[in-house]
Chains A and B, each alone.
Chain A
Amino acid sequence: MIRIQDLKFYYRLGEFSLDIREFSVTKGEKVAVIGPSGSGKTTLLNLVGGIIIPRQGMVSVDHIKVNELNDTGRRDFRVANIGFVFQDFELLDYLNVLDNILHTYRITGAMSLDKGVRLRAAALAKEMGIGDKLKRHANDLSHGEKQRVAICRALLPRPKLILSDEATGNLDPANKTRILDRLFRSVEQHDATLLAVTHDHELLKRFDRIVDFQDFQRNQGF
């Protein structure tokens, strides 16, 4: 599902650089990425999601070389195939919960926003324990609630690949299990792939594979 080869990435002014000789995730696999802050975990997700492009090397998702697509192509590919749970939720304060969940449909125009999608969004929110908060603005929510809204937004289009950056980081233990259950169920139901960055070592046993990014960087590949 994901394949990275001879990738080099660095920010123009920063000292950070990322070198990956070889990295791959097979279809349906649930992979956890761990590692200290600043090791490049979020950068990896952004590279796979086509939000940033490598200086060198190749990133392919579902046999499509993401780094070779132009700006528009990368965006369209991301909307159609990837569900992204961002580390800082990336919700819009002026929209309510339901509008935030449906926002990708509204602004990309790639998918039609019909009654079925709305009902599915409401059901998903209910499943995540925020069904009674659909009309509340994002800035009125707690951290945990915001995180669940962000997860709903990522899962709603039933993506082939879910990239999750600390999806359970701000949740209490009960909700953590519940959200992860839902995330895994979604992956299994839609034969999707999960690449999740996490600091929560208690949850690691539920993943198929764990990638320690510090070791990964040191050893240059798996």
Chain B
Amino acid sequence: MNNQKRHLRFNLVFLVCLFGLVIFAVKLVFIQVFNASYLAKLAEKQHNYFIELEPRRGGIYDRKLRPLALNVAAYSLYAKPKAMTEQAKKKAIRELGSLLNLQTDFLQKRLSKEKYFVWIERKLTSITAEQIKAMKIDGLDFIKESRRYYPNQSLGAHLIGFAGMDNRGLDGLELMYDHYLKGEFGWTQIIRDARNRELLIERGFIPPKNGFDFVLTIDETIQFIAERALEEGFIQHHAIGASLIIMNPKTGEILALVNRPTYDLSRFSEVNQDNRRNRAVTDMYEPGSVFKIVTAAAALEEGKVTESDKFFCEYGEYKVGGHILHDHTKHGTLTFREVIEQSSNIGTTKIAQLLGAKTIYKYAKLFRFGMPTGINLIGEVKGVMKDTSQWSKTSIAAIPIGHEVTVTAIQLVCAISAIANDGLYMQPFVVKYIQDQEGELIKEFKPQPVAQVISAQTARRLKEILAGVVETGTGKLAQIPDVRAAGKTGTAQKILGGQYSHNKFFASFIGFAPVEDPKIAMVVIFDEPHPSYYGGTVAAPVFKRVAEDVLKYLAASHGN
């Protein structure tokens, strides 16, 4: 009996164990055979982690490799509202609001969302990120990014432009050369444990391709000198806009490009489009008397006049095509040289009549007015230079003195540079070379002659006449102690509603120095300066101040 009972118990235990084993075996088969691929995928998803590797955006440097735009680490703050307690949310609203200067409403709205991810603030500095970490608020975390940093704030703002939140160029060189600057994303596959901690075990790795560095022709110091002088003039003369460009006439390198109003590159979103506009290349205007350099160059090159040829300037009133032309100062007879020095409209018109419309047009085109200079900057306009078939009866008295024609500041500086460079017109450019992170040259921009617009002999004669403008003519305020400068003043009425305004003007000065061996050529333009509005009194002093300092600087740095 006992034996039978024991046997029964044994069998029962055996069957229970067997049943258990069968269940385990079935489960094992189910896991290993039927569920294997699903579970393997799940495990892979949990352990493997793909990370996109952000490339370093290329830096922008001045000609002496001083940084104008670079990258720094930034920390973007996000919250997981769905995982946050009410207490943590209240703490976050209270403490983040004051630290990050964020509105309470904004934070409340963000943290009340039923989401696991909401941005709070992008691209914070490491110091701010550390301060937030020290608050120990549950449900807040950071994603490391990089942010564009402009150490010079507003210096060269219109030239450099800016990159947006996603490090993509939005304006200026940042936009124009975004393709070179941005680089290419890489990726890596790493392993993480059950606690979501990353391990330094990489299963796959494609390194990011960093963006290329840009070295500009701009000199930071010259840019600063120009910015300072233009800012003072802009404030002093209550202008609504101003531009200044400095160019090396022998190479076409732009050494400085300034516009007013301007803006801080790190706060680009806070300013309007008007401040961000690169007026030096996007705005065209009637140049007025500075355009007389074209008429003078044409007259000398064609051999129609000599410096001592005399022109009767009608004592300030001259009728052309039913329109009465005036001179600012009444003159009797002036030599050709004096016509340019004193900026006589009547004298210049008489010279133009001697040359004819086609010759004036030919030289205006040779100086590349009415066409883009091809400078590597965004938004360049070509201006307007009408074909002779579209000239009216009064055009011969308007275009040679800089009316019925529109130009840009960059066109003017290129034209005066051509005269300074013995008649050789150089292609303007702002990028000197592009290099990779290892310093290997990717692309070099070399000085490019475009055309010999006038002969070297004519250019030298014209240089002397333009030196006379500064020494005895309308540009006396551009005189630089111990240095001979040459240039031309311009004062042009603005066209408002199809009519020439009598109280709104463009005041400009174009010039170069030293006359014997020009190191710099410059254009200075003020839009609506008042009460003083003459190019000779508003723009010429800015030329003098900038040229004086720049020449000293170049002498000290051996022109490098």
Whether A associates with B in a native complex is: no
Interface on B for A, CB 8 Å cutoff? none
